[in-house]
Structure 1
Amino acid sequence: MKLKFKVQAYQTNAVEAVVDCFAGQPRSDGISYRIDPGRSKQIKAEEAGFKNADLQIPKSEVLKNIQAVQRHQNLPISDKLISSAGCDYNLDIEMETGTGKTYCYVKTMFEMHKRYGWSKFIIMVPSIAIREGVQKSLQITAEHFTETYGKKARFFTYNSKRLHELESFSSDAGINVMVINTQAFAAKGKDQRRIYMELDDFQSRRPIDVISRNRPILILDEPQKMEGKATTKALEEFHPLMILRYSATHTTQHNKVHRLDALDAFNQKLVKKIAVRGIQTRGLAGTAPYMYLEGIEVSKKAPIARIEMEVKLANGDIKRQLKRLEFGRDLLSVSNGLQAYNGFTISQIDANKDTVEFTNGFELRAGEATQDLSEEHMRRIQIRETIRAHFEKEQTLFAKGIKVLSLFFIDTVSRYRDYDAEDTKGHYAQVFEEEYEILRDEYLSTLPLEYQDYRAFLERDEVGKVHEGYFSIDKKNRLVDPSVKKTGEEKGLSDDESAYDLILRNKERLLSQNEPVRFIFSHSALREGWDNPNVFTMCMLNRANSNVRRRQEVGRGLRLCVNQTGERMDHPSVVHDINVLTVVASESYKDFVSNLQKEISDALVARPRKANEAYFKEKVLRTEHGDVPVTSEMAAQIEFYLIQNGYVDHQRQVVEAYHTAKAEEALAPLPDTLMQYAPQVFELVDSVFSADALSRIVDDGRKPKTNPLNDNFEKKAFKELWERINQKAVYRVDFDSDELVEKCVAALNKELNVTPLQYTVQVGSQGDSLTAEQLSDGKGFKVKDTRIEYGQSAFSSVKYDLLQEVSENAQLTRHTVARILSSMEKAVFDQFKKNPEQFISEASRLIKEQKATVIIERLTYDAVEERHDVGIFTAAQTGNDFSKATEKLTKHVFDHAIVDSNVEREFVAELDTSSEVVVYAKLPRGFLIPTPVGDYNPDWAISFEEGSVRHIYFVAETKGSMSSMKLRPDELTKIECARKFFAEISKADLPNNVRYDVVDSYSKLMDLVARQ
């Protein structure tokens, strides 16, 4: 796989914010100077180096530029330049983890070279993990930036044993980038101090002197980890022209010129949403029996609780086992007489609330465990929940070509690979394989028929191939713990290069669905520097550490995912439907969420809290005609607008109603005087911090976790509706091959039109005189002539099995396809020679369309005695994606509807408020109509008011387009089959027969109702 990059406005803004701070600086291709030859005779005395030109504009002008940038972004205005590390120009660029800050500072280097000629850059990182990540980014973006700027950057990693690279860094006039980690110049070891030594193997020169002569621009990645006295003092030795500091969490403030924090990143849909699965422990009075409620199964008979508990074995040992228990089971008996369970008889299993009650009054919720929970069992539960979350996400995203990865953070290799044991699998690996096989089998047994490709994917790989550990490797090729700094500034950071070989340098391989590895066990030291866009689940198996911030760990999975072609899944309409990061924590859901939200809140301390007139006044609205300051009158209008529409509370804090209306594109219109500034006004409102905004970043439980059936399910109107539609039927298709062959031949002779392969030939030449700029941007050549040529297939040497290709595509026998093709007009069939690939594709499409037509014309349904059980409604709630849930509804049979599109969301909103509708239901996945092209699950069942419309109406499908031209052939076939199905079951001797149709809105539905 090759990751694809595109120019994105938010990243361009970050680049321009830095570059614009030096507006007015004249461009220079570098100041030539004589490189110190040392004692070497290999370097000619006159050999020149090219250093960055000094700033020509005065400091006061730079400060004005910085203030203009800050005003443009509504940032606090600096009153002076903040000096640090011996440098007068220190710029802070705040970018949330996962938004591509590495991409931004690399692009900034290219842009600075383009505008000002600066070419010497040093990227400083606090650890080898981050260094390896930066190197990887420089490699995979090289082609992208070459296409954009027409230049390549020369980059290398500083190594005191490869000092010849410093010669090239100094002497090359192009863009030169050195990557260096702080250990190389700020640690006390002998090897690290070589940068300050006069070295015999470097012609008695000090490497730092050669570096500093270039007046490099320093780029600090994660500067908050480089603020020790030794590092800060060492930075002066580089004699930097300026220092650019990129981080999501700046601890020391300089001149901030750009902000893209957690709130901005979420509002602009640039990172994943965060969901949390926590393990809640509960105490019991007296002796506490161990119980963990994993979940509740819904069946046609009665719900079953999956409870892990202790059981006495025949030999007297006590072991924890997972039991499937129904109503009335006595846990004392199930445990084989363990007195701790005396009095624990199941009195109720509530699938809607996900709770189990016992006769002694104790209630246990799904995901809860009693306090008698050892660390070993806590980890097993975490691993189990991680696998479960992985399967749920993977089932949804597999068909979209998105590889789902899950990441386990652990403390020591021995928990994953124990080379001293007979079986080298460590405890975590053994537990994972046990739980994976149990859950996979369970998942396969309930997988709907339409997921056959995903079923094959799950069954393809053995359990031993789906997980892998990424750690350091010793000389025996064994996994070992990375060596970790125990003291000093870099305490806790891994200093072992081999730890990152595959996980950092070959991360694209992990993104391929052909690669079996989907679960990654890695060391907690990788919490910085490594990330992969397709991590959807993270499990914290490492012991709690107060020094490790939750944001830092969660940040490893915030990057938006990519599909199998390397394209980011970042379309605004679906970005947060797809990109949700689930964190499985070793603490309660409530505790983890509150602590994580507190960390984010602390990082947003500078954010305004009130959307009032004082906040809006003198802010800047950016337009294509320039910046417009907000006047007092405009500020008052904005505040009144927010109050009038209920978007703020009495304290002027932004409330959920605003965020919901904005997400649904249903915000009330601004006053006429402000309409032209609408996007900028709402951007200002989004910048106001609120508790609701925080809960949207980290799921705090406001979305329903269960979706109970309500009183509407018991209404007479719904029972009557259900009685009319729950009939099952089988289909018959009676047609002979002659008719199909005849129709296919007619369609092919009439409609098959293959375009010959064509080639565009352009002839150009270089101009008589060229500038350097024309050469760099590709304008030095002019096209003289363009012509189109036609020819035989470019793949004429390929031998096609035409019958096999078409028969597979159309799902017909070779014999039938042979009859069709041999009966075609010769002139039409001869088009195969012009373009074989298109001939096969178009012929297959036309044949499939005729096949579908014949099927529909000859298909009949026969009702059978069997009917759908109402249990499919409760069973359907298992594994729902509640991020797609509506707000609480009044006429739906469930409290919430799980919708798949904005069309459905709008349709539900109108159904729920319609006076004509009595009750309606989103039909569960188990309600399937058999068709020749696969089982079909309609969308909605609706019962109308008897007084206004005297019939019950059934809506099969909500589609964004009513045009049959925009529906796939299989969709059209299923729809036509459904028409026949409902026509058959409506023949029953009941008044008010069911009507079936397709609609794209509630108004279209009512148009059809009115025609009855």
Structure 2
Amino acid sequence: MELQLESLKYQDDAVQSVVKIFEGAEKNTFDNANFEGIRINFCRLSPTQIKENILGVLKENGIDKQTAKLSEDNDICVEMETGTGKTLVYIKTIYELYKHYGFTKFIILVPSVAIRQGVLNALSIFEKQLENIYSFTPKAFEYDSKRLSKVTNFIEEQYPQIMVMTLASFNSEEKILNQVQREDLFANIPFINAIGKTRPIIIMDEPQEGMDTENSIKQIAKLNPLIKLRYSATHKVFKNLVYRLTPFDSYKQGLVKKIEVLTVTEKNDEATLKIELTETQHGKGEPKAKLKVWKLKAGKFVFEQTSWLKVGDNLGEKTSNPSYLNYEITRVNKGLKTGKWFVEFSNGVIIEEKQSAGNIQGVWALQLEWLIRRHFQKRQKMETLGIKCLSLIFIDKVANYVGETPIIKQLFIEKYKLVYEEWNRGQQPTDEHINQIQGYYFAQKASGEFADNEGGQKEQKKIYELILEKKEELLATSNPVQFIFSHSALGVGWDNPNVFNIATLNTAYSEIRKRQEIGRGLRICVNQEGTRVYDAMNVADDERINQLTVIPNETYETFVTQYQEEIKEVYGTSKAGAALTHTHKDKTQNEVHFKRNQSETINAAFKRFWKALAKKTDYIVSFDEEELLRKAIEQISELKIADYRAEVNSRYIKEIKQDEIADDFRGTESYALNAQFSPLDLVEELSENTGLCYSSAFKIVNGITNYVECVKNPPKFIHLAAAIIRNIELDEMIRGLSYQLTGDEFPFNFYDFVKQIDKKDVTETPNRGVFDKFINDSTIEHLFGIGADVDPEIVCFLKLPNWYRIETPIGPYEPDFGLVMKRKSLKTNTETEFYFVVETKGTDDINDKKALKESEVYKIRCAMKHFEALGVEVQYKAPVKEYLKFKENASNDVTQLNN
């Protein structure tokens, strides 16, 4: 098979966007581009001329100056979504730059061996086809410190040269290219300086992968590049962005596969005892450790890292999670044989670094089962079209596939046999067949952490070559490999057009960036002739060929949210179109000056209002404990706890829109899992979570009747029971709450002030505002302020300062607005001022639990009692959604007071 080169307009646009930067440059010749026996990239264009060319390209491509991040640096950014062929684009750019301007020296700089191999592979695959188009072939080679003659040829040759090298090959002074004293120096100078004399054009592939560190910048500068061309889908550093192909554009135009997200998630999995050893600290004193565990935080269970823990610490106490009460640390140590740190607990459990305890195997099994099911479904469709179906499985611990206990490999074999039987009328696959369909490549760090120590290096080399070097062979239906296992560190650097399914098997929340994870299989697929096979734009989902199924072990909402956040991180907005409007503003543009209204009428009315409003109060609370216990027992006994389950959920991403991701729900399946359980002290936990004394907590535990619900998911039960008790406490507290005046007052000083804030969050109030504007926290506040500012019956109003706080038993409360209204009495024909304080919310009903949090309801009720203590002068209105509704209620109050 030979992959076929296509002429694609978006790729040609990306190529020409760079070529046009040098418009007006004279062509390099033997006469003008030779210096002291070195062939150089010669260019007389001034920085001003290059900048003008860049501006012309930006105009053509619809990219504004702010988005482009114009810079005097000789860096150019080209941004292309993963899977749209950026490697081929910069290779064709090299050909075009030689064709138009005679530039001969090119360095492709890559961050890893995997990406380097992919580049060399692409150069080899398309060499003949490009030669047929351009009538020449550059000399392309991999930099090798043992073959410096190739570097010498690169420096001297008149013919175009492409040197592919990793950043690691010259990023420190002891590297051969940087060495000053060698017998084989070029012209008695370090090779890196000799290369710099050629003024190479440097192509930076994935520059965000370590090429913008202080040391990397210094080392790359030694190469003295004529220009640096930066290619990535996820740039972190933007300089002179001349071309952009966004996820929105590529998805909309059918340039990449469509995506199905098939999630496998645990439900109610706080019941599992997941523990990971993430960090250790040793030196002076006893060793300490940080663990990743389920913690109770702000009323919810979250899986996150602890603070430093030491011998004697109880994990249940440190996490507020009763499931861990039997986990007291007895040892933090490093094994002599393994060289790995571990934490040992009082119950005998031992957690090693980079391992996880917990019930994750059930989820892995479901992920693999559904990956294999999708693989069989797609393979049947693809075979008739001459398209080979490949599936990719990311794992985060190599030992789970090639170690002494290869649990993932065992689960794969088990599930493959299951699905194979279903598709082959009960026939079992042979062991040889199962072995042949699997391939693996595990990225290896410099430390050797992910090295394959089992199976021998020869076997590893064969698989490495097949996956990274012989892409065409892997695509052939005659090759048995269909499932590829890789380490999750392989986030960039390898992909294949015929990857149709990707599963990510993690022991915790996926750390792979979603655009990288998806990107391994986004390319349009190819058939056995190496020709891309496209779908019609209006093809039905069930008939679609280019459909990538991603199977993460997290919820669809989590997956999509992280994906969208990555897009926002890159583009500054979810509207990732080419003609992007950047949201960044200068600091001076964000300065907002607030000025006091100069009207004497307004100032006089406000001073009278503030005198009534500024009175401080304090409170006392009393409640009936017996009534509290009775209600708690009654309500907790009605608790129903869901079983611990896993859910498989399928959604097709129909379109990556500018503002959102549009999806189509395709169904769900639910599976029962076994929760892990350890004994716990209900009395102690309820006491600590509610503030009740032990005797009161014991009475509640002794009185409840649904212990079976507690056994299903103990931490969930305690969490919900504690919430019930706290709500009852709050209800009883409100019933027995009273406020009294203290005799103190809030001071108010009139002054002009400046704040750094986005102007879109400011509402102008020029007519009746005590200040000429206020900071709004919501659209509701914005509209309320506008309504008050144009109401002729309002004398003055203001957004109350954040230091005007009413103390409550559950924390301080800050009301929103203060208003002064005037109304003329028909009986006395005199005008009277009425004072109001308003709390704006998304509802007018204090019992609307969907719009109001429980804490908001309780604080409003406390505030009602506070304002009652101030007297009839100040009327408190809460909650209020719209100004007209406030005005209606206020008018009724005013009418009653006037009468």
Q: So what's the TM-score if we normalise by structure 2?
A: 0.52
Matched, 1:95 2:80: yes
Distance 1:485 1:528, change over 3 A: farther
Matched, 1:257 2:221: no
Letter aligned with residue 527 of structure 2:
N
Q: 1:255 to 1:704 in 2, by over 3 A?
A: same
Find the counterpart in structure 2 of residue 504 from structure 1. Answer: 468
Specify whether residues 270 and 13 from structure 1 end up closer, same or farther in structure 2 by C-alpha distance, changes over 3 A only. same
- 2:486 is paired with a residue whose SS is strand
Q: Given the alignment, which residue of 382, 393, 400 partners 1:397?
A: 382
Deviation at 1:259, TM superposition (A): 0.6
Deviations for 1:272-308, whole angstroms, at most 9, x for unmatched residues?
11211111322399x999xxxxxxxxxxxxxxxxxxx
What letter matches 1:151 in structure 2? F
Distance in 2 (CA, whole Å) between partners of 1:128 and 1:530 is: 10
**What RMSD, in angstroms, separates the aligned Cα atoms of the two structures?**
3.7
1:467 aligns with 2:438: yes
Tell me the distance in 2 between the aligned counterparts of 1:105 and 1:395.
36
Q: How does 1:269-308 map to 2 (within 5 A)?
A: 269-283=254-268
Counterparts of 1:106 and 1:184, CA distance in 2:
21
Q: In the alignment, is the contact (CA less than 8 A) between 1:405 and 1:518 conserved in 2?
A: yes
Alignment partner, residue 521 of structure 1: 485
Q: Return the match for 2:396 from 396, 401, 411.
A: 411
User: How far 1:373 sits from its partner (Å)?
Assistant: 7.4
Q: What is aligned with 1:1000? A: none
- Is 1:3 the counterpart of 2:3? The answer is yes
Name the structure 1 match of 2:109: 124
Counterpart of 2:423 in structure 1 is 443
Separation in 1, partners of 2:580, 2:268: 50
User: Is 1:154–1:175's contact at 8 Å kept on the other side of the alignment?
Assistant: yes
Contact persistence 1:540–1:584 (CA under 8 A): yes
Distance 1:460 1:184, change over 3 A: closer
Q: Distance in 2 between matches of 1:612 and 1:23?
A: 24
Q: Which amino acid aligns with 1:97?
A: T
**Counterpart mapping for 1:725-744 below 5 A:** none
In 1, distance between residues paired with 2:226 and 2:561? Answer: 43
Kindly provide the amino acid, as one letter, of the partner of residue 690 in structure 1. Answer: D
Q: How does 1:601-750 map to 2 (within 5 A)?
A: 601-605=568-572, 689-691=658-660, 694-695=661-662, 700=663, 702-705=664-667
Tell me how far apart the structure 2 counterparts of residues 18 and 568 of structure 1 sit (CA, whole Å). 26
2:466/2:474 contact within 8 Å kept: no
In structure 2, the CA distance between the partners of 1:485 and 1:252, relative to structure 1 (3 Å rule), is farther
| Cα drift, residue 502 of structure 1 | 2.6
Q: Residue 200 of structure 2: which of 216, 230, 247 is its match?
A: 216
**Secondary structure of 1:223's aligned partner:** coil
Cα distance between partner residues in 2 of 1:407 and 1:558 = 12
Distance 1:79 1:96 in 2: 17
Alignment of 1:778-797 (within 5 A): none
Aligned to 1:564: 528
Q: Could you tell me how far 1:67 is from its partner in structure 2?
A: 1.0
Name the structure 2 match of 1:76: 64
Give the counterpart letter for 1:437 in structure 2.
K
Residue in structure 2 matched with residue 593 of structure 1 by the alignment: 560
Q: Report how far residue 116 of structure 1 moved.
A: 0.8
- In structure 2, relative to structure 1, the CA distance for the partners of 1:614 and 1:24 (3 Å cut) is closer
Deviation at 1:601, TM superposition (A): 3.8
What are the residue-to-residue correspondences of 1:922-937 with 2, within 5 Å? none
Change in Cα spacing, 1:592 to 1:232, as seen in structure 2 (3 Å) is same
User: Contact 1:30 / 1:53 at 8 angstroms: preserved in 2?
Assistant: no
TM-aligned CA distance change 1:398 to 1:160, over 3 Å: same
Q: Distance in 1 between matches of 2:29 and 2:511?
A: 46
Residue 154 in 1 paired to residue 134 in 2? Answer: no
Displacement after TM superposition at 1:484 (Å): 5.0
**Residue of structure 1 in register with 2:514 after alignment:** 550
Deviation per residue, 1:347-369 (Å, 9 max, x gap): xxxxxxxxxxxxxxxxxxxxxxx
2-structure distance, mates of 1:429, 1:180? 35
Change (3 A) 1:511 1:559: same
Indicate the SS of the match to 1:123.
strand
The Cα of 1:163 is off from its aligned counterpart by 0.9
Alpha-carbon distance in 2 for matches of 1:604, 1:80:
11
Q: Give the match for residue 434 of structure 1.
A: 414
Contact 1:98 1:558 in 2 (8 A): yes
Amino acid at match of 1:501: E
Residue 165 of structure 1 is matched in structure 2 by 150
- CA distance 1:611–1:486, change in 2 (3 Å): closer
CA distance in 1, matches of 2:182, 2:114: 28
User: 2:52 matched to 1:64?
Assistant: yes
> What CA deviation, in whole Å up to 9, does each residue of 1:546-580 have, x standing for no partner?
75312112211111111111111125447872111
- What is the CA deviation profile of residues 636-687 of structure 1, one whole-angstrom value per residue up to 9, with x for unaligned ones? xxxxxxxxxxxxxxxxxxxxxxx99xx9xxxxxxxxxxxxxxxxxxxxxx9x
Query: Is residue 199 from structure 1 mapped to residue 168 from structure 2 by the alignment?
Result: no
Give the direction of change, closer, same or farther, for the CA distance of 1:34–1:397 in structure 2 (3 Å limit).
closer
Q: Give the whole-Å Cα distance in 1 for the aligned partners of 2:21 and 2:249.
A: 22
Counterparts in 2 of 1:540 and 1:22: CA distance versus 1, 3 Å: same
8 A Cα contact 2:71 2:240, kept in partner: no
Q: Answer whether contact 1:394 1:403 (CA < 8 A) is retained.
A: yes
Deviation of 1:202 (Å): 3.1
Q: Is the 8 A contact 1:535 1:557 kept in 2?
A: yes
Q: CA deviation at 1:114?
A: 0.8
Higher RCO, 1 or 2 (CA under 8 Å, sep at least 6)?
Answer: 2
CA contact (8 A) 1:415 1:427 kept: yes
Structure 1 residue 375, shift from structure 2 partner: 1.4
CA displacement at 1:606 relative to structure 2? 5.1
How many residues were matched structurally?
A: 503
CA deviations on 1:174-203 (whole Å, 9 max, x unpaired) are 211111111112146x3x354343322336
Deviation at 1:10?
1.0
For the 8 Å contact 2:248–2:576, the answer to whether it is kept is: no
Match of 1:1007 in 2: none
Task: Report Cα offsets for 1:74-118 as digits up to 9, x if no partner.
Answer: 10126999557xxx4211101111111010111111111111111
Q: Structure 1's 614 and 551: CA in aligned 2 closer, same or farther, altered over 3 A?
A: closer
Partner amino acid for 2:5? F
How high is the TM-score relative to the length of structure 1?
0.46
Residue segments in structure 1 that go unaligned for 5+ positions in a row: 37-47, 290-371, 447-454, 473-480, 488-495, 616-658, 664-685, 708-1012
Please name the residue that 2:224 is paired with.
Answer: 239
Aligned pairs for 1:528-543 (under 5 A) are 528-543=492-507
Gaps of 5+ in 2: 274-356, 451-459, 583-652, 670-899
How far did 1:589 drift?
A: 2.6
1:971-986 maps to which residues of 2 (within 5 A)?
Answer: none
* Contact 1:124–1:181 (8 Å) recurs in 2: yes
561-570 vs 197-206, greater mean Cα deviation:
197-206
Distance 1:111 1:194, change over 3 A: closer
Q: From the superposition, tell whether residues 219 and 464 of structure 1 become closer, same or farther in structure 2 (CA, over 3 Å).
A: same
- Kindly indicate whether the alpha-carbon contact (under 8 Å) linking 2:154 and 2:161 is maintained by their aligned counterparts in 1: yes
In 1, Cα distance between equivalents of 2:441 and 2:269 = 41
Taking the TM superposition and a 5 Å limit, the aligned residue runs for 1:798-877 are none
**Map 1:903-918 → 2, pairs under 5 A:** none
1:50 maps to which residue? 39
In structure 2, do the counterparts of structure 1 residues 401 and 235 end up closer, same or farther at CA, with 3 Å as the change threshold? same
The one-letter code matched in structure 2 to 1:206 is P
Alpha-carbon deviations, 1:948-996, whole Å to 9, x = none? xxxxxxxxxxxxxxxxxxxxxxxxxxxxxxxxxxxxxxxxxxxxxxxxx
Do the aligned residues in 2 keep the contact of 1:416 with 1:469 (CA within 8 Å)?
Answer: no
CA distance in 2 between partners of 1:613 and 1:533 (Å): 29
Deviations 1:497-555 (A, max 9, x none): 99843311012111111111101112223221111111111111244467531211221
